[in-house]
Structure 1
Amino acid sequence: MTRAFVLCLLLLLGWQPAAHPHAHLAPMTMLVDRAADMPFAHIVGDHVHGGIHRDLAHAIAGRLGRTVHLHAVPRKRIGPMLREGRSHWSCALLPEWLDEPVEWTQPFLPHAGVVVTRTDSPRPRTLEDLAGQPIGVVKGYAYPELERALGPSFVRENADSAKAVLRMLELGRMQHASLNQQYLEYQLRHGHSRLSLHPYLLTGGYETRCAVSRHSPVTARQLDDVIRSLRADGTLARILQRYR
């Protein structure tokens, strides 16, 4: 009796091959701020084609036995979409930035902010030296360190994205800007900007989190378990190092 004949007989009797244990799990969706740029996200239209967010999303989804789709949306839409269950999670956030009824993972993504000044302007020695001077920032983003240091003397010069802030700085339309240090150094190192800058003023370092929709099939606690495993085996460190 041939193997093919036996297989046909089993199929006729109702036998089915064992399914993959995760085959029935629906894909997850992750939102990325459309204003993000490399090293955090390479965005074309609404699609995320590379960067830390994409690598992290696929690493997390892989540990959960799921696939994940990433969508780039304006920052102001992230909260409502998570609240309404139209997407499952979004990372590089803090609760004080997103006033929505969502769950939060542990802090784990490092963030360091800097204020930079062109070398054709006097070098500020402290944040207080910037009182009353326009500082390039991303529209809709909070800058609590600058707000605390400068109070009502914090003058925002809003742009649509960090890339737009950097471009305005290059063109001399502003002399100072507040940027993510990893973003700035990535852009300088890869030749995307040739700015001559004074030494940075640090505005603070902390770790951001992922916001998880209460409609998500995976809870924040489950994501925390995955994040701990990514930290423990060095996967998270390798993802971050890839873009330094």
Structure 2
Amino acid sequence: MDQKTAVVTGAARGIGLATADLFLEMGWRVVMVDRDAEALEAEAGQRQSVRAVHCDVSDPDAVTAMAEAAAGWAGRIDALVNNAGVAEFGPIEQTDFATWRRVMATNLDGVFLCSQALVPALKETRGAILNIASISGLRASTLRVAYGTSKAAVIQLTKQQAAELGEYGIRANCVCPGPVRTKLAMAVHTQEIIDAYHDAIPLNRYGTERELAEVITFLCSDKASYVTGQVLAADGGFDSTGVGLPALRGKPARA
């Protein structure tokens, strides 16, 4: 009962899996949550001090069952990382309502449902909620009307959580990843896209899953005990560049 426990959604791959692994390195137990049962069981089976819970975070009943299973197994919940998300891109005019709802159901509703379900357990430990938004929630870009809007809403939801749950000692923060070198991203990003991102990011590279996990686990830890309601862009400086032209970086403008 003295060993801290984190619940991580979308934990079967990518940033979620890297975060689960770093929590384990820190000596925590981890409830790994994902809707991909096969991938989840494969990853959880290779690790100790974990409990795999198959759950679609957009389903209220499934989330209630997940929260009960997590609390029952661990006895305590110290952190919730709302990482599960989907990305469907396309022009505004071609984004039908079914697509809009699929994105919102997981990216926004899932954060709300999981947080609400685990608040009672987090009150007991004065724990932390860490929501994963995106750089697309901070700066608009084409083809992301549903995705970007869902992530902007997650940012606001985080602030609402911090304002309301602070009196119980629960902290709520948000991490906004920029481009991250995940297997999925590398499978769909052409070399032209990769080069364009490198040009637009001051650090001239994608982030790694581990780098994001380091930020996430820090904000969930006692080292960030006076940090709440904050939105941190872990993006290599991408947000700071605004709409400036990469070709002019470090060069004097000519009239």
TM-score over 0.5 (shorter chain): no
Per the normalisation by structure 1, the TM-score is: 0.33
Higher relative contact order (CA 8 A, sep 6+): 1
Q: Over alpha carbons, which structure has the higher Rg?
A: 1
Per the normalisation by structure 2, the TM-score is: 0.32
